[in-house]
Amino acid sequence: MLSANTTEQIRLFRTDRINKIISGETNVSLLERPKTILLLVPFSFLDPAVRYDVNRLENILGELRPIDGHGWSFQHNFDGFMTYSSEIDSSLIYSYLQFFRHGSCEAVSVTIPAVDQEKKHLWVNIAFENELLKCVEKYLQIQKDVGVEPPLALLLGFISVNGYTIKAMSTSAFPQKAIPIKTDVLVFPEIIVDTYGMDIAQMLKPVFDTIWNAAGFSRSFGYDEKGQRIKG
């Protein structure tokens, strides 16, 4: 269980990171669009005695794919080690993956969910969920390999989404009318990763259900009526 103090410190860390992203104080400059942020924070992240050698991640660059990344570069930086993906023939970055020396992992992308800036729609679907599930599984494995000890908190949110409406693509049901988001930052309840090897699809189901609820659906249609993940 998270203690009240640990919960508050992790939420403060999330708020600080989101504020830095909004103000452009990250190690790379992202495209000005709505963003998805994923954080994996070990409970020990504030312990100054617990630090990890993230520099050796350069040896496994092929494993460090940012969310929805299609080719990526890397940098050593003040916070630790980062990979990032940019548009072809452009310095504009659409996704990055930052590993901190205190063991946390931060992934930010402007390409999922898909964005219609003219109509102010955020489109989610099963492919959106599958991409996040694949990334969470990979990033947790990297943290395990680095030596990060569980438990960890998984935190997911959307940034710069005020006035946007979440839309979901499904052939299984028709949604009710979705309501535009009234806040610039939308954060979902933290999920506790007690140990490595947990069922990530079941772990993230409540978050995915909430996202689809916001689009006017009763639940995520990436799962069947019994709550089991649909393969494919």
Does 11 score more than 80 pLDDT?
A: yes
Position 169 confidence tier, pLDDT thresholds 50, 70, 90: confident
Q: What does pTM read for this prediction?
A: 0.94
**Helix (H, G, I), strand (E, B), or coil: what is residue 30?**
strand
Position 174 confidence tier, pLDDT thresholds 50, 70, 90: low
- What is residue 173's predicted lDDT score, i.e. its pLDDT? 65
Dihedral over alpha carbons 83, 85, 21, 142 (to 10 degrees)? -30
Q: Assess contact for 125 and 168: CB atoms under 8 A.
A: yes
Does 53 score more than 70 pLDDT?
A: yes
Position 88 confidence tier, pLDDT thresholds 50, 70, 90: confident
Least confident of 16-30, 59-73, 165-179, 205-219: 165-179
pLDDT single digits (tens) 118-133: 999 999 999 999 999 9
Does 7 or 107 have the greater pLDDT score? Answer: 107
163: left (phi > 0), else alpha (psi -120 to 50), else beta? left
